[in-house]
Amino acid sequence: MPGVTIIIKALNEERHIDAAVTSALAAVARADGGEVILADSGSTDGTVEIAARHPITIVQLRNRAERRCGIGPQLGYQRARGAYVYILDGDMEPQALQAMAADPRLAGVGGLVEEASEASYQFRGRKRRGAEALARECEWLDMGGLYRESSLRAVGYFSNRNLHAYEEMDLGLRLRAAGWKLRRIAARSVLHHGRTEGTWGLLARRWRSRYLDGAGELLRAALGRPWFWRAAATQRHLFIALAIWLALVAGVFPWRFNHVVLYAALATLAALVLWRCVRTRHVGDALFGQVVWQVTALAMVRGFIARPRDPRAAVEYVVLKDSSAGA
């Protein structure tokens, strides 16, 4: 049994896949053995061909209509043989292994993440917040991490195949509810380059791809579970946005207090824009931030009412290369 399984999820990443695989292979070598699995969601560029030059296993999603953020990690996990499972690539495995060896209740360890992109409002906000750049105990590990396989088995599955986003948050909430701990250590693991399209283009693409549905899908998956209210708390800004939508709609109906409701909704919008303007010192980002809230609130409803599949159901895939068979 390999010590560490590194899973790289990919879709049309021909520019970065060679560096990612090279880094992952170096990491398993430092960890005294392991395996690298590329979980491809149906790339149409040279991603698979470039990755196949390396001694790794490559599996590809059979049904491309099932593409979403949560399905890649689960696809790779189905083939994983390691006692530890690492999603993404990086250089923090030795320290992470030491941390988990010292604490048997530690389910996952992540490194520090540096956001490099400032191409859009979304990535500028992530860089400004810098939540993934602090070494500390945490509730979930955005941007990947090293996980104890026994903890994943204990909570039923690695990544919820139904989620278009928030797959790391969902996993963290499940692990924490089961009594496990997560930690981010002071070792750089990811330099995130983000998307290159601008603010409006990224929002439009995320709406079309249903990435924005992730909040609703997260809440649907947590419904009736002990972590539901914590999941709901992470999306409280979207509930505010939904309330504004309802107030705006109610404000146009011809009843006695319609003008009060409408003015209250508009005043709330103005206050939120002003608050964000003070925080970001960027008028454009403050205005666009409210656009993102309102659009994502609608997508949250769309995601919540979507009928999910059993997250424990096997993901159908095709094996393009099997390193364990010497292919």
Which DSSP letter does residue 324 get? G
Pair 220, 276: CB distance under 8 Å: no
CA torsion angle 269 273 274 279 (round to 10): 140
Q: pLDDT truncated to tens, each residue of the chain (327 aa)?
A: 568 899 999 999 898 899 889 988 988 888 777 999 999 999 999 999 999 999 999 999 999 999 999 999 999 999 999 999 988 644 556 678 888 889 999 999 988 776 555 555 555 666 555 566 688 899 999 878 899 999 999 999 999 999 999 999 999 999 999 999 999 988 776 655 555 667 788 889 999 999 999 999 999 999 999 999 999 999 999 999 999 998 888 777 766 566 778 888 889 888 988 988 888 777 877 888 888 899 999 999 999 999 999 999 999 999 999 987 654
* Angstrom distance (rounded) from CA 131 to CA 234: 14
pTM: 0.83
Containing 176, the helix (H) or strand (E) segment is helix 167-177
Cβ atoms of 139 and 214 within 8 Å: the answer is: no
Q: Compute how many other C-beta atoms are within 10 angstroms of the C-beta atom of residue 194.
A: 17
Closest CA to 34 of 72, 71, 74, 89: 89
Predicted pLDDT at 1: 52
Q: What is the pLDDT of residue 246?
A: 87
Domain ranges of the chain: 4-196, 199-314
Q: How far apart are CA 7 and CA 87, in angstroms?
A: 5
Going by C-alpha positions, the residue among 83, 84, 142, 81 that lies closest to residue 110 is: 142
Tell me the HSE value of 227 on the side-chain side, using a 13 A CA sphere: 21
| Type and span of the H or E element at 301 | helix 283-305
- For 4-196, CATH gives 3.90.550.10
Task: Give the model's pLDDT for residue 276.
Answer: 82
Q: How remote is the C-alpha of 31 from its chain's centroid?
A: 25
Structure tokens at 206: 């995320």
